[in-house]
Amino acid sequence: MATIGLDKLFYSKITEDADGNETYATPVSLAKAMSAELSVELAEATLYADDGAAEIVKEFQSGTLTLGIDDIGASVAGDLTGATIDKNHVLISTSEDGGTPVAIGFRAKKANGKYRYFWLYRVKFGIPATNLTTKGESIEFSTPSIEGTVLRRNKVDGLGKHPWKAEVSEDDTGVSATVIKNWYDDVYEPTYTTTGTTE
């Protein structure tokens, strides 16, 4: 179903243990969302046998997330890009900056009034783009955008796989109201039954 809105943009800082496994902090609001564009790159291979394609493998390699936001505050910019805030509360960006990955959560309103919820488990952002224009005869808003690379997370789920995205629509059959209610309390962790199917 088509979506007609976007809101509740959150991020969660990541800490990693010695093996690189992620632990997520309590999610906090990033900014007011204007747009989110997600593109995905797949690694693919085709095995040819008997003069034809015998097997085709397509796996997630990485993605690009471009966020259009109303504003990015100094502390959020620091968390996402590695910039620092000096003692005068001025945000300083240096050539050595390199932000640490974060998890990104948001929701999109569907045409039926229900929402589709997302968590991207590991996104590494670059420096926000700034567009400025002089004031003319009509009012024109200039807003920042920020682009990040979406990666799979290091920590495996209950099936021994490395998830990169969690997505659910609140009106899907079998979706617990608790999952939707608690979506922004923590970064969603996949749960499975012992047979490998979802609970």
pLDDT in tens, 110-134: 888 888 999 999 998 877 655 555 5
Assess contact for 164 and 60: CB atoms under 8 A. yes
The pTM (predicted TM-score) of the whole model is: 0.75
Residue 195 lies in a domain: no
Residue 98 lies in a domain: yes
Residue 199 lies in a domain: no
- Maximum Cα–Cα distance for the chain, whole Å? 70
Domain that holds residue 20: 7-181
Percentage of residues in the chain having pLDDT higher than 70: 82
Residues in Cβ contact with 127 at an 8 Å cutoff, skipping those fewer than 6 apart: 81, 93, 97, 146
Q: Work out the mean pLDDT of the chain and round it to a whole number.
A: 80
Residue 188 lies in a domain: no
